[in-house]
């Protein structure tokens, strides 16, 4: 089931100077840690003076899918959607 969440979450991310990439590695949502597995999609949305980096990714167990938004103006992470893959 896909659900809209729109809650700020804590994220641990890493930057690779070798590959010039930044990626989330751990999401803390509702006091639970989710290790990031594969990142399926990353794109940037420009809204006025603010860039939003959108990451669509799965947890390491491939049981949940997340859509994260990194706001570059305030550096806050927002969990926009989560899905368990079921079509409820």
Written as tens digits, the pLDDT of the chain (88 aa) is 899 999 999 999 999 999 999 999 999 999 999 999 989 999 999 999 999 999 999 999 999 999 999 999 999 999 999 999 776 6
pTM of structure: 0.91
CA distances from 76 to 19, 28, 61, 79 (A): 23, 13, 25, 10
Note the pLDDT of residue 88: 61
Note the pLDDT of residue 87: 65
Note the pLDDT of residue 86: 75
Counting Cβ atoms within 10 Å, is residue 19 exposed (0-12), middle (13-18) or buried (19+)? exposed
With beta carbons less than 8 A apart as the criterion, state whether 82 and 5 touch: yes
Note the pLDDT of residue 85: 78
Angle of CA points 78, 81, 83, to nearest 5°: 140
């Amino acid at each position: 089931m896909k659900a809209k969440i729109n809650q700020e979450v804590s994220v641990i991310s890493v930057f690779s100077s070798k590959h010039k990439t930044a990626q989330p590695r751990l999401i803390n949502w509702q006091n639970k840690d989710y290790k990031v597995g594969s990142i399926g999609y990353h794109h940037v949305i420009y809204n006025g003076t603010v860039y939003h980096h959108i990451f669509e990714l799965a947890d390491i167990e491939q049981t949940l899918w997340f859509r994260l938004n990194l706001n570059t103006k305030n550096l806050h992470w927002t969990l926009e959607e989560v899905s368990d893959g079921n079509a409820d």
